[in-house]
Amino acid sequence: MIKPLLEVQNLTVKYGAITALHNVDIRVEEGEIVSLIGANGAGKTTLLRTISGLLTPKTGSVSFFGTSIVGVSAHKIVRGGISHIPEGRMVFANLTVDENLQMGGYLLSDKRVFAAERDFVFSIFPRLRERMTQSAGTLSGGEQQMLAIGRALMSKPRFLMLDEPSLGIAPILVRSIFEKIVEINKMHGLTILLVEQNANMALEISSRGYVLETGRVILTAPSSSLRNDPKVRSAYLGG
């Protein structure tokens, strides 16, 4: 049996006495876009932070390409091919766009590879090329999200995790950002795990989805099935 790109099994994560995740199981196959939806406080961000090595689980396993990454430091997980774009973008506000991209590509010692990755980022987000010398803190919310994604791409990841990419972005730009996520998946062969409050949009671009409720996976199905599920529609899709 072929191992999935990412496999989480029986994952339990605690903050002190509070259990944030209860025996969570998810798997993501290579080349997929998978959505993780749920209300605020459901544990979505906690799951991403655990996968990226920022949190240590109480029990359970996280495997990437069949190898456990529990207990591996966050920078080594990045080096291994996982990039995490946190909620709120977290760009380096006092650095220029180009300097932010350089920070994302710090693992790339070959200047030609670095230049090729930056050119790829600019092909996805031409606006970043126009803003190369501009301080990141002066960009719009949408531009900062483009930069956060571009910075993550500079490390040449195999697996990209996005936490609320539409948060704080003008509605007119939201669809554009999601179209770019699909383009990155198709053109760069990147596998993507997407956490997104805009569940309609997330399920529109993903192949499968997981519904997380109070730290537990309560449902998993193809995205088209989740979009048509009455309970999911009522709770998360506004109808």
**pLDDT at residue 82, as a whole number:** 96
- Tell me what the mean pLDDT of segment 173-195 comes to: 91
**pLDDT at residue 73, as a whole number:** 95
Tell me: the pLDDT tens digits for 212-233?
999 999 999 999 999 999 888 8
Q: Residue 42's domain spans which residues?
A: 6-236
Token readout for 128 is 């970043």
Share of the chain above pLDDT 90, in %: 72
pLDDT at 136 over 90: yes
Residue 81 lies in a domain: yes
Question: In the 3-class helix/strand/coil scheme, how is 123-185 assigned residue by residue?
Answer: HHCHHHHHCCCCEHHHCCHHHHHHHHHHHHHCCCCCEEEEECCCCCCCHHHHHHHHHHHHHHH
Number of H helices, E strands in the chain: 10, 10
Residue 17 lies in a domain: yes
**Total residue count of the chain as it appears in this document:** 239
Q: Report helix, strand or coil for 202.
A: helix
**pLDDT at residue 98, as a whole number:** 94
| DSSP codes joined into one string, 44-81 | HHHHHHHHTTSS--SEEEEEETTEE-TT--HHHHHHTT
**pLDDT at residue 151, as a whole number:** 94
**pLDDT at residue 2, as a whole number:** 65
CATH code, 58: 3.40.50.300
Is 100:145 a contact under the CB 8 Å cutoff?
A: no
In sequence order, which residues have a C-beta less than 8 Å from that of residue 7 and are 6 or more positions away? 26, 27, 28, 61, 62, 63, 66
**pLDDT at residue 168, as a whole number:** 80
pLDDT at 22 over 80: yes
Question: How does the average pLDDT of the chain come out, rounded?
Answer: 92
> Per mean pLDDT, which of 24-33, 120-129, 195-204 is the most reliable?
24-33
pTM value is: 0.91
Domain count, the chain: 1
pLDDT at 236 over 90: no
pLDDT at 50 over 90: yes
**Which helix (DSSP H) or strand (DSSP E) does residue 113 occupy?**
helix 111-124
Is 197:164 a contact under the CB 8 Å cutoff?
A: yes
Residue 82 lies in a domain: yes
